[in-house]
A and B are shown apart, each in its own frame.
Chain A
Amino acid sequence: MALSRLSHRGVGSTLLRPFSARPISSDATLTIETSVPFTAHNCDPPSRDVATSAPELLTFFRDMALMRRMEIAADSLYKAKLIRGFCHLYDGQEAVAVGMEAGITKRDCIITAYRDHCTFLGRGGTLLEVFAELMGRREGCSKGKGGSMHFYKKESGFYGGHGIVGAQIPLGCGLAFAQKYSKDEAVTFALYGDGAANQGQLFEALNIAALWDLPAILVCENNHYGMGTAEWRAAKSPAYYKRGDYVPGLKVDGMDVLAVKQACKFAKEHALKNGPLILEMDTYRYHGHSMSDPGSTYRTRDEISGVRQERDPIERVRKLLLTHDIAAEKELKDIEKEIRKEVDEAIAKAKESPMPDPSDLFTNVYVKGYGVEVLISSNYTALEFYRRMDIFS
């Protein structure tokens, strides 16, 4: 259910074997040039030549296609009113989540904003956990109490899932400080959007991170819009990789999964040695900002279809797989079919998951056993809440 576990070093994915007519034993290194050069600010950019392998490329294809399918399915579930609350989709931006994971390990931490479904999946979350959480069910990754904007996975260093724009960036500095202090040799990737880049918190975080040489990588996922506001309307300088001033930065084609991988590897090494770095991922969201935004009033349809045709992260990998003769068109179609089934099955299972128990409304507000009781109202105690469920709806 989770993303394929195939690492770029690894061989023989059980998930991939059924689709492959020829043996994918060719995990010999391939070198592929990034789509465009990196643009660097106050640092030397990494090489454009990215080492990869046939299995890794197939994994990239599969993982990104799975994310895409998952988001499209979430869109339908929302429209069917099975998902309530706010829901922000990531389709278009998949290469950032997938490429980042390929360049780092699960000992590194990731913290992001509310557009978090795919980042969670990248960290090893399962489709069931995603859909159950989206529908507010017990088997969700936050037990159904968080919803779309609040995905977390502690075991693999995913610190969520934050609804307040920009708030996660200084939190990321705190994570990085702890990593540095305990000599973890691990780093934190703190993701934020181009809109969030105008929050004062970013600049406070940058100063802290640089002052204390924290192993923090601030990743600006520049999808060029903050809600309905184009980047240039909100930012004097939309060169987000440069906005750290004394903090070095790198601009990356965020639609090129290999470029993202290369940049994240580079950033990790840099951060462990020299402290923070900004990575600006040039990316694009296909959907509107959230489910109430059709996404077509502040940008042209041509713009969207242009990106789809020329820069789509999945299509780019599909092309690589075909031109390097790693997979045939039909095999890739089969993978996509399989993914569709996987997503549908996860949804069916998530629908069967029960809603949280009403008592969960009162748990996790404070630590249990520390003398704190939830006051329900001046007329009811917590106990009476259960006795008097009739008046609570």
Chain B
Amino acid sequence: MLTKFGRWVSLVPKRGFSTSTSFQKGASEEGVKSMNLCSAINQALHIALDTDPRSYVFGEDVSFGGVFRCTNGLADQFGKKRVFNTPLCEQGIVGFGIGLAAMGNQAIAEIQFADYIFPAFDQAITDQFCFQIVNEAAKFRYRSGNQFNCGGLTIRTPYGAVGHGGHYHSQSPEAFFCHVPGIKVVIPRSPRQAKGLLLSCIRDPNPIVFFEPKWLYRLAVEEVPEDDYMLPLSEAEVIRQGSDITLVGWGAQLSTMEQACLDAEKEGISCELIDLKTLIPWDKETVEASVKKTGRLLVSHEAPITGGFGAEISASIVERCFSRLEAPVARVCGLDTPFPLVFEPFYMPTKNKILDAIKSTVNY
């Protein structure tokens, strides 16, 4: 099914990402264009709608482009029957998407802010439940002749800090969804990644929550292939090679982590930086191989530390690499407070906090 669309690309950037122009181009010789993350998402949606007549984009205000303009122009090109506004009702949006997907369609739902995904949480879980019944419970699948499937559902939603978003426009709820087997959770770090990963998500036969780092919508600009390409899910990427410590992160946090790596390098510490990309199911092997080499691990995310996905990574790596670890796994994350309005810099896992943790882990 997947190969029907586009092509798979395995891009190994030599360095940097969010504003990097130095990456190996894929097999295709088609053009690349410099664009921001928002336009890359927009392009992916264009391609998705163009290549599959049974795909739909819907959500609050999406036919006008959505609050972040990611869906600009889609309604004009593909019509209001395939790109449409929903009323303000997140539970309804996702539930509707499940039904649409169960009829064999690609339902691409937008939840305006990840902070508003909670009314739909129940539906998202229902969704995986339905998926599990259909795909795991063999007898039921047999009886229905495998007719039903709600894997065509992709929920796009902007997450994370923007500098002054306050309590309800800044949260990173990815860990909640990682606790639900049957849903995939994917978070891109840059425009090129966003386009390739989103197309993979839309075409993956599993329900997926795709979190978009809204801080990077306009900020991250890079060369993006203009054609239809996909990046593999559940494949982490080493975006910076190093030998003293492994850093694991995803989304917007990676650029902060990369700055910490550069500062650590000046002090003679060689950091390996890994972009997890898919949180569930995640690529343990890549992280494991790296930690076996460096002997140290640091995980960083914006969500509060307790119960964050960093805890899962930490536990898994301790299980797999116990004898190779030379220091406790470090987690540099959001604080265990509500996302604050006035104290955002204190709350955030900033470069200095990461650098400090790198040093104390290396000198353990």
CB within 8 Å of B: which residues of A? Answer: 84-86, 136, 144-147, 149-150, 163-166, 195-196, 198-201, 226-229, 233-235, 292, 297-298, 355-356, 358, 360-362, 365, 374-379, 385, 388, 390-393
Contacts and interface: CB of A to CB of B under 8 A. Distances in A.
B165 A365 contact: no
Contacts of A227: 60-61, 67
Nearest to B341: A147
B305 interface: yes
Contacts of A233: 85
A298 B64 contact: yes
Contacts of A292: 67
Given A84-B164, A85-B164, A164-B116, A195 B64 contact: no
A234 B88 contact: yes
B61 A361 contact: no
20 contacts: A84-B164, A84-B341, A85-B166, A85-B341, A86-B165, A86-B169, A145-B342, A164-B118, A166-B88, A201-B119, A229-B85, A234-B88, A362-B335, A376-B305, A377-B331, A378-B305, A378-B330, A391-B350, A391-B352, A392-B352
Contact of A361 (B91, B118, B169, B340): B340
A228 B346 contact: no
Interface string B84-118: 01111101100000000000000000000001101
A145 B166 CA distance: 9
Nearest to A372: B336
A297 B337 CA distance: 38
> Which secondary structure characterizes the binding site on chain A?
loop
Interface in B162-216: 163-169
Contacts of A201: 119
Nearest to A147: B341
B337 A199 contact: no
Given A136-B342, A228-B64, A229-B61, A374 B335 contact: yes
Contacts of A149: 166-168
Contact of A391 (B118, B333, B337, B356): B356
Given A361-B347, A377-B332, A378-B305, A196 B91 contact: no
A199 B89 contact: yes
Given A379-B360, A393-B345, A361 B337 contact: yes
B88 A199 contact: yes
B53 interface: no
A392 B346 contact: yes
B306 interface: yes
B350 A393 contact: yes
Contacts of A195: 87-88
Contacts, number: 141
A199 B120 CA distance: 11
Contacts of A165: 88, 116
Contacts of B342: 136, 144-145, 147, 355-356
Nearest to B331: A378
B345 A229 contact: no
A361 B64 contact: no
B67 A200 contact: no
Given A195-B88, A227-B60, A136 B67 contact: no
B343 A358 contact: yes
A101 B333 CA distance: 45
Contacts of A199: 88-89, 119
A86 B339 CA distance: 14
Contacts of A136: 341-342
B141 interface: no
Contacts of B118: 164
Nearest to B306: A375
Contacts of A361: 335, 337, 340, 343, 346-347
B357 interface: yes
Contacts of A393: 345-346, 350, 352
Interface string B322-364: 0000001111110111101111011101101101110010000
A148 to B, nearest CB: 8
A22 B151 CA distance: 75
Given A365-B337, A375-B336, A147 B346 contact: no
A234 B87 contact: yes
A200 B340 CA distance: 28
Contacts of A146: 167, 341
A273 to B, nearest CB: 32
B353 A86 contact: no
Nearest to B354: A391
Contacts of A391: 350, 352-353, 355-356
A84 B340 CA distance: 12
A255 to B, nearest CB: 23
A198 B88 contact: yes
Contacts of B86: 234
B345 A392 contact: yes
A76 to B, nearest CB: 17
A85 B165 contact: yes
Contact of A234 (B67, B85, B333): B85
